[in-house]
Structure 1
Amino acid sequence: MARAAVLGKPIGHSLSPVLHRAAYAAMGLDGWTYEAYECDETGLWGFLESLDEEWAGLSLTMPLKRTALKLVDTVSDLAVAVGGANTVVVRDGRRHGDNTDVHGIVAALTEAGLGAPGSALVLGGGATAASALAALAELGLTKAGLAVRNPDRAAESVSVGERFGLDLRIGSLDRLPDMLDGGLVLSTLPGIAADPFAGQIAASGAALFDVVYAPWPTACASAVEEAGGVVVGGFPMLLHQAVRQVELMTGRDDVPVEAMRAAGEAELRRRAAMPVSPLSSRD
C-alpha cells in the first residue's frame, strides 16, 4: 500500500485526485490511495513531519509551492531555479522537492503545435509564471515579455528569467497593448483576472495558453478562438504535470496518459453540468 495526496488552500476544486486515481487504476496499483487535504503555509511543516513510510509523495498547489522549498530535505535544481516545488517525493524517510509544472507547460504547448513560439508574453508574476518562463527557455526562447500589475515588484520574476537565460521585457498589465506582438500569450492569472484583457489579446492575433481549467472557456479563450487563434487551456498542463508526478512517485515510466486524460475530461464535463459552477481552478 502507498499513500499520496494533493495539498493546498482552497483544495476542493482540485482535479488531481481524479487524474492520479485514474493512473493507479490503469497501472494496477490497487493498494495506492490519493486524497485531497486543505493546508496553508503554516500547516505544511506539520503535514510533512507526519509523513511515514506509507507515503509516496505529495502534489502541492497554491499557496504552498514556494514555502515547500524551505521545508523539504532535498530539492531539484529545476525547482530551485524556478523558485517553487509543486511535488514532494518521499523516499527512505527523506522528502525531495521537485517541479513538474515546467514539464506540464512544455508538453501542453508542444501537443498543441506551439512548441516553437517565435515570441511570448507571460501575464502574471507568481509561481506559475516562473514555471512558464522556464518552459519558454526550454522551448528555445532567449527573450520574453512579462506583464504584471506592478513592474516595480517584479524583481523575483526577473531573477527567474536570468537564471534561465531569458532577456525579459517587463511591463504593466495596464498597458498590455504596448507589449502584445501577435506571438504566444501565456496567462497565469487566476480565475477571471485576465477577462478585462480578452479583447486586447484577441485583437493582437496571438495564440493563447491560459492556465485556468474551470470554468472553461475563459473570456480570453473565447475571444481568441473567435478571432481564429490557437487556444490551449489549463487542463493539458495539469494532465502532463500529473503524469510526471505519477512517474516520480511510482518509479514507473508506463503512466497511462490517455486514461488520465479521459478521466479528467469526464470530470470536467460533470462539473460543467452542475447547477452551481465550481471555483475557478488551476493546480
Structure 2
Amino acid sequence: MTATTADAPGTPGAEASVLEVWGDPIAHSLSPRLHAAAYRELGWAWQYGRRRVAADEFAAEIAGLGLAYRGLSITFPLKAEAFAAATRLDETSVLTGAANTLVLRGGERLGFNTDVDGLVADLTEQGVAGLAEARIVGAGATATSALVALARLGADRVEVLARRPEAAAPLVGLGERLGVGISVATLLGSDGGAVPLTLSTLPGGAELPRRRGGAPRGRRRAAVRRRVRPLADGARGCVAARGRPGGRRARDAAPAGGAADPRVRDRRGH
C-alpha cells in the first residue's frame, strides 16, 4: 500500500478535510489535480490525495482512517468492497452492488454510486438517446453502472464482452431486473456486429487480446460511432468522451463534500 497527497492545494487549516481516491493501480489517476483545481476555485481548504489499496487491504485501510477524513473516491478494483463497507447506501448503489464514493460522517460511511448519473448526463449531452442496443466491454463493477445507464437511455439489448464469460453472470441477472436482454461473448468471440454505442469499462492501461494476424479487438470498431471510457475515479460524472474529460461543473467534481442524498438507505433497511 502506498499513499500520497501530491497535487493537493496548499497547507490546510485545522478545519480542513482530507479526501483521497483509492484503487490499484492508482498512480495514473488525475483526480488529485482535478480536485485540487476545483477546491482552489471554490475556496475550499481541502486536501485530496491518492492511495494504492488492494482489495484484500480495503477493510483494514478504511478502519484505520482518522477523524480528519471526509470522504473517499473509489475506483478499480474496490467498488464492491466500498459497497460492503458502507453503513448506508443510495438507491443506485443498491441496484448495482457498487459504490464509487464514500462520505465519512458521524461514524457512518455513506455509500453512493455516481457513475450511472455521470454516464447518462454525458451521453445525453452528446446526443445519445433512444438506444435499442449497445455493447459493454468488461464485466466488473463499472460494467453494472454502464448497464443501468444504458437501460435508462432506452436500451433493451446489450452485448457484454468479457475475458471470462462466467464473470458476466451478475450482469445477466441485473439485466433481467432491468428488462434488458443480455448476450455474453468473450473479447474475441463476438461477431462484431454494428451497434450505436460501445462502452469500455476496462481499467486504464488494460491490454486487449489480439486476433491472430489482426489488430487488437478494441481497435476494430469502425462501425461504432462513439466510444466512451468511464474514468472510474469517483469524480461525479467524470467520463472521457471524444478525448474530453469531465463535462460537469467543478463543484460536481468534489465528491463527499455535500449533504447526503435523502434516498440513502440504512444497511438495516431503514
**Shared fold by TM > 0.5?**
yes
Which residue number in structure 2 is paired with residue 2 of structure 1? Answer: 17
* Deviation (angstroms), 1:248: 4.1
CA 54–212 in structure 1, closer or farther in 2 if over 3 Å, else same: closer
Which residue number in structure 1 is paired with residue 37 of structure 2? Answer: 22
* Deviation (angstroms), 1:243: 5.7
CA 94–212 in structure 1, closer or farther in 2 if over 3 Å, else same: closer
How many equivalent pairs are there?
Answer: 231
In the alignment, structure 2 segments of 5+ residues that lack a partner are 1-15, 209-214, 233-239, 261-270
C-alpha distance in 2, partners of 1:98/1:171?
30
Matched AA of 2:42: M
Matched AA of 1:187: S
More helix by share: 1
In the alignment, structure 1 segments of 5+ residues that lack a partner are 214-230, 253-283
Match for 2:196 among 183, 203, 218? 183
CA 245–93 in structure 1, closer or farther in 2 if over 3 Å, else same: farther
The question of whether the paired residues in 1 share the 8 Å contact of 2:133 and 2:156 is answered with no
C-alpha distance in 2, partners of 1:234/1:66?
28
The question of whether the paired residues in 1 share the 8 Å contact of 2:42 and 2:251 is answered with no
More strand by share: 2
Matched AA of 2:49: E
With structure 1 as the length reference, what TM-score do the two structures score? 0.72
Structure 2 counterpart SS, 1:44 = helix
Alignment of 1:6-85 (within 5 A): 6-29=21-44, 31-85=45-99
The question of whether the paired residues in 2 share the 8 Å contact of 1:143 and 1:167 is answered with yes
Indicate yes or no: 2:227 matched with 1:208.
yes
Match for 1:250 among 255, 258, 262? 258
The question of whether the paired residues in 1 share the 8 Å contact of 2:79 and 2:99 is answered with yes
Cα RMSD over matched residues?
Answer: 2.7
Matched AA of 2:26: I
C-alpha distance in 1, partners of 2:111/2:224?
38
Structure 1 counterpart SS, 2:227 = strand
The question of whether the paired residues in 1 share the 8 Å contact of 2:161 and 2:185 is answered with yes
Identity %: 36
CA 60–152 in structure 1, closer or farther in 2 if over 3 Å, else same: closer
CA 180–83 in structure 1, closer or farther in 2 if over 3 Å, else same: farther
Match for 1:232 among 235, 238, 241? 241
